[in-house]
Amino acid sequence: MKIDQSLNLVSTVERDGFPLYVYVTPFPYEVIEQYYGILGQTFSRFYQDIGQIGSPRVAGMMLREAARAATPEGFTGTTVMDEIHRLARVVVFLDGRWQQLPLGQALDKGIIDKEEWRDVEGEVCFSIVSCAMQKRNLIPSLVGKVLAMYGAQLTSLNVTAFLASLPTSKTEETPEATTEEADEQTQSQPVSGVVHIPS
């Protein structure tokens, strides 16, 4: 697969009716620069302590543990978990249309509850940490395949285009792309669709 765009994570929270999605972009460079020690330590533990296959279930716990250890007592500033809550988006079908809002706001308003968030938090943190530490061309093979085992997907669509691709009735289907189709789309179009990583 030709990679010439950022691959973003889409984790699905199954519900009656329309599902809810958590959409996550990789950390920008300045955020990685600020938290590289915490991210690097957590990334190393994926392989040394838990193993790559199991890490997406506990990556959130591991990242919080590393953040607590690196945070001085009494610190009241922004943490790496705050950055995830700020940058991740919740995509939800409300009032007859798909809408998106920051994860932190969605949690505060009860649009996604704590149990639903805990179910996908590990996938989100695994993606954030791995994308921060891996070269971009290695992400589909080293990150995407593992996340696909948990039902998550990588997409090159930005969040606005992702919303536009979603069905607005239960009789419609969300457009998906195979790897070969994604290659062709990447070569001929500026934006490709959802990419399922082959096993």
Average pLDDT over residues 11-26: 94
Going by the DSSP 8-state scheme, the letter that residue 142 receives in this structure is I
In angstroms, the Cα distances linking 79 to 22, 56, 66, 179, 181 are 20, 20, 11, 36, 39
Residue 3 lies inside a defined structural domain of this protein = no
- pLDDT tens, position by position, 20-54: 999 999 999 999 999 999 999 999 999 899 988 89
Question: Which stretch of DSSP H or E encloses residue 164?
Answer: helix 159-165
pLDDT beyond 50 at 181: no
Lowest mean pLDDT among 59-73, 122-136, 140-154, 174-188: 174-188
CA R_g for the chain: 17
- pLDDT tens, position by position, 94-117: 999 999 999 999 999 999 999 999
Residue 41 lies inside a defined structural domain of this protein = yes
Domain count, the chain: 1
Residue 149 lies inside a defined structural domain of this protein = yes
Task: Name the more confident of 193 and 71.
Answer: 71
Residue 2 lies inside a defined structural domain of this protein = no
Residue 21 lies inside a defined structural domain of this protein = yes
Residue 175 lies inside a defined structural domain of this protein = yes
Give the domain range for residue 183. 8-195
Average pLDDT over residues 169-191: 46
d(CA 56, CA 21): 17
The answer to whether the CB of 59 falls within 8 A of the CB of 125 is: yes
Question: What is the rounded (10 degree) CA torsion for 82, 118, 192, 6?
Answer: 40
Q: DSSP characters for 15-53?
A: -SSS-EEEEEPPPPHHHHHHHHHHHHHHHHHIIIII-TT
